[in-house]
């Protein structure tokens, strides 16, 4: 069922537990979306995040403070237009699913968060569940490496061709946008067309 925990969280390669960060980010799509926006634009202010995401001040500070409590965001003693700058660290951990261990990193978190902003991802998550959505990220990565086809993605996920194709196209745009800032995911920034990346539901400040 969409929104339910996918499995058990492990530790990242440095041995530092990311249990709570990964758990929260993969069970709260709104928080995952906010985290991704801050990561892409770090350092940034909460005010600029509010403008990019169209959310109110109370919600933005609630999410920022929660990320700080999780140890993945920090309010710096530096300012822009009178507002404090925030920095966000890439979250990398592991997540035990029914099909095996999944490496959780910014691309995975961004796709999960995008279910709040992209209709194709929202539909796929609601219809087929969180695990299938996150497995679609790996299949789309294989497609970008020339090892999979769009229809092959659908077959691997055991979903109708139209659903598999639509979600992989949406995920491709996110991979193109996020993978350059993801230390644990192949960098496909040059493999995805700029027009496709422009369709990703995340904005980078000029």
Mean pLDDT of the chain: 90
Scan for tokens 């920022």, then name that residue. 64
- 111 φ, ψ (degrees, to nearest 5): -65, -45
19 and 44, same structural domain? yes
Instruction: Give pLDDT tens digits for 1-36.
Output: 333 334 444 444 444 457 789 889 999 999 999 999
Q: Which of 73, 88, 103 is the last residue of a domain?
A: 88
Whether residue 185 lies inside any domain: the answer is yes
pLDDT given at position 96: 72
Q: Is the pLDDT of residue 171 over 50?
A: yes
* pLDDT band for position 167 (cuts 50, 70, 90): very high
Query: What sections of 57-129 are H helices per DSSP?
Result: 57-69, 106-113, 119-128
Residue 3 lies in a domain: no
Is 66:30 a contact under the CB 8 Å cutoff?
Answer: no
* pLDDT tens-digit map of 53-102: 999 999 999 999 999 999 999 999 999 989 999 999 999 988 776 667 77
Looking at the fold, whether 110 and 188 belong to one and the same domain comes out as yes
**Cα atoms in the 13 Å half-sphere on the side-chain side of 88:** 28
Indicate whether 139 belongs to any domain.
Answer: yes
Distance CA 42, CA 29 (A): 20
pLDDT at site 19? 73
Q: What is the pTM of this model?
A: 0.89
Number of domains in the chain: 2
Residues 100, 195, single domain; the answer is yes
In a domain, 65, yes or no: yes
* Domain assignment present for 1: no
Q: Is residue 126 part of a domain?
A: yes
Domain around 169: 93-199
The last residue of one of the domains, among 88, 122, 150, is 88
Sign of CA dihedral 11, 92, 19, 6: negative
Residue 178: predicted pLDDT: 97
Q: Tell me, what CATH number does 22's domain have?
A: 1.10.10.10
Check whether residue 185 and residue 102 sit in a common domain: yes
Residues 109 and 74 in one domain: no
Give me the DSSP letters along 127-151. HH-HHHHHHHHHHHHHHHTTS--HH
């Amino acid at each position: 069922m969409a929104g339910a925990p996918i499995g058990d969280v492990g530790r990242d390669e440095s041995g530092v537990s990311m249990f709570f960060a990964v758990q929260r980010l993969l069970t709260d799509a709104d928080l995952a979306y906010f985290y991704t926006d801050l990561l892409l634009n770090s350092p940034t202010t909460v005010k600029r995040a509010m403008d990019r995401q169209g959310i109110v001040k109370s919600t933005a500070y609630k999410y920022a403070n929660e990320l700080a409590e999780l140890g993945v965001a920090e309010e710096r003693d530096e300012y822009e237009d009178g507002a404090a700058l925030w920095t966000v660290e890439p979250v990398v951990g592991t997540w035990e699913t029914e099909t095996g261990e999944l490496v959780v990193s910014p691309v995975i978190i961004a796709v999960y968060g995008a279910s709040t902003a992209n209709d194709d991802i929202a539909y796929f998550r609601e219809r087929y569940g969180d695990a299938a959505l996150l497995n679609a990220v790996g299949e789309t990565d294989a497609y970008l490496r020339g090892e999979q086809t769009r229809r092959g993605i659908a077959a691997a996920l055991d979903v109708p061709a139209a659903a598999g194709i639509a979600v992989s196209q949406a995920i491709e745009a996110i991979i193109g946008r996020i993978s350059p800032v993801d230390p644990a995911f192949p960098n496909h920034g040059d493999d995805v067309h700029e027009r496709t990346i422009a369709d990703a539901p995340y904005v980078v400040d000029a």
